[in-house]
Structure 1
Amino acid sequence: MSKDDFLLDDLDDEKTVEFIKNYLPQDLKEKFSDDQIYYFLDLIDEYYMESGVLDSSTDSDGFIDIDLDEIVEYVIKESKKDDMGEFDPEDILFVVQGEMEYGNSLGLVE
């Protein structure tokens, strides 16, 4: 990976975090710091890589079935294991949905 790739990844992460912050309901906007959202994004990416979901076969419409509840459980479990705190599954679900909506807005996922 080149230096430019790293800079693009950082810029994309910044845009993703901003999108998620705008996506969150008002009462959650102040609840999570940017650093926490970056951490959650890392865990979401980790889930995709480790779960094998990205290697799954697509359905007849070309979609991969992604269980948001499994992603939420993974983020909560890893956050607790990493001593990052305990989080409400409903709050984390908004972050996961925000990340997915950002991908939808770019045409990366549907």
Structure 2
Amino acid sequence: MTFDAAAILGALATLASITSFAPQAWKIIRTRDTKSISAPGFTLTVTAFSLWLSYGVVLNEWPIILTNAICLVMAAFILMMKLLPQRNKDAVAGALDPNG
């Protein structure tokens, strides 16, 4: 059996990228607190993932497309929660975590 170093590195990078946003998104759902989130920072992050996704589409590279599409959704969710008024934030978080 041979190992493709590029595929292994890509899979590890994908896993790290995707899982890096999950704790922050879950914390926002549980606490409904976004005071420490930078709106300009996450706007830049969403822009970056949008550009990486577009790059993957142009190259027709599914690993780039899939990874950045998932990261874009999570980063956009965090940005949306930052920008929403508190009552809307509570409604979204309540729908995603009814026990919270």
* Bigger RCO of structures 1 and 2 (CA < 8 A, at least 6 apart): 2
TM-score norm. by structure 2 comes to 0.31
TM-score norm. by structure 1 comes to 0.28
Structure number with bigger Rg: 2
Higher helix share: 2
